Amino acid sequence: MQKKTVLITGASNGIGREYSYFFAEKGYNVILVSRSKNKLDQLATDLQKRYNVDVTVIVQDLSEEWSAKYVYEKVTEKNLGVDMLVNNAGFGTTGDFLDSSETDTHKQVMLNVNAVVNMTQKFLPDMDSKGSGAIINIASTSSFLPIPYMSVYAATKAFVLSFSESLHKEYRGKGIRILAVCPGTTKTDFFESAPDTITMGGMRTTGQVVRTSYKALNRGKNYIVDGKLNYLISLSPRIFSRTAILRIMSTLMRRNMSRTGSK
């Protein structure tokens, strides 16, 4: 029986790295995509030794304009079919909007939004043609809340959630599963210096996030919030007014930025 193949973006660290081990252990061949060649090469070697699977490394910064096209061309050149796509790569900043450089703001939108859409647009047609496949898009608990001082990041993750849920409905009858995963604070490099505001749901491990998402995918869910406390936070817009949420989040963010020395 031919092994299935999973393509994972942002595979060199954090949740993406965890997905790599998770699916390799399940017998998937793995395509690793990230901008860090050294980390990907080390990861590929370890996966091959541990699980005896084929591992392909594609070095690419997905915040670049034609990155998804480049990745797809590399995959097709090697005659690799992608049964599962994990859009994990992401980037965020904290602080006053005007304190972020145009470069960083552009990078957030390109990586968190454009890359997700473009990678999906490249790989979904093949899944549609064969009537099977799965896409996991990493959103966030920030998808549910407007967050002052993380305005761009929260907005991009709201997009990912909406985009994923819409596609889930469009393709659920065609044998394709599409899931938005909404983690809270997770033990990754991304959250090493995160303000306490975005750790309200408690710190979760990458393993917990991956296992939770895999179960949700197999149950046909359109989205999943990792962790019970994070789930309660995601419900806050149903309980509080938008004005109240903005006031609360603004106060918490400003308080915690002052503690960490941010403006």
Active site residues: 153
- What would the two tokens of residue 167 be? 């596609």
What is the DSSP code (8-state) at residue 159? H
DSSP H helical ranges for the chain:
14-25, 37-51, 67-77, 102-109, 115-130, 151-171, 206-218, 228-234, 236-239, 242-260
Rounded Cα gap, residues 31 and 106, in angstroms: 26
Nearby residues of 205 by Cβ (< 8 Å), 6 or more positions away: 186, 187
* Cα distances (Å, whole numbers) of residue 78 to 38, 56, 57: 21, 9, 11
Rounded Cα gap, residues 250 and 201, in angstroms: 17
What angle do the packed helices 115-130 and 151-171 form, to 10 degrees? 10
Rounded Cα gap, residues 171 and 58, in angstroms: 28
Give the strand order in the sheet containing 133-138: 55-59, 29-34, 5-9, 84-87, 133-138, 176-182, 223-225
Nearby residues of 114 by Cβ (< 8 Å), 6 or more positions away: none
Nearby residues of 74 by Cβ (< 8 Å), 6 or more positions away: 58
* Cα distances (Å, whole numbers) of residue 134 to 62, 85, 216, 229: 20, 6, 12, 27
